[in-house]
Amino acid sequence: MIAIQQEFEHNVTQQMYTSDKLWEIIRLAKQEVFNQLDHVMVTTAFSEDADTYSRALVDHFTKSEFDPTRKAIYAIKQEAKLLL
């Protein structure tokens, strides 16, 4: 979560190149990733070791039908098409 937040903060200046709507989609995608990380943590009952948690994360994200980053990437591509 720290790495995701740091990357988001590093890229925050990029919002000047995007529409407000696109930046909101990106912000919501980040929040949804955090929500999914929290969900997996809760389902592993906070008591499992890091290896179990990382395997649970991989399992969750490979089986998840909803990938918030994929939605954000799609939105970025659509906005880029409008500009090009």
Q: pLDDT of 14-56, one tens digit each?
A: 777 889 899 899 999 999 999 988 888 888 876 668 888 888 8
Q: Which domain holds residue 57?
A: 2-6+19-83
pTM (predicted TM-score): 0.74
Cβ-proximal residues to 14 (8 Å cutoff; 6+ apart), any chain = none
Q: Which has the minimum average pLDDT: 45-49, 66-70, 73-77?
A: 45-49
In-domain check, residue 79 = yes
In-domain check, residue 12 = no
Cβ-proximal residues to 30 (8 Å cutoff; 6+ apart), any chain = 4, 5, 8, 68
Q: Does the pLDDT of residue 13 top 90, yes or no?
A: no
How many structural domains are present in the chain? 1
What pLDDT is attached to residue 25?
93
Cβ-proximal residues to 19 (8 Å cutoff; 6+ apart), any chain = 79
In-domain check, residue 11 = no
Q: Does the pLDDT of residue 1 top 70, yes or no?
A: yes
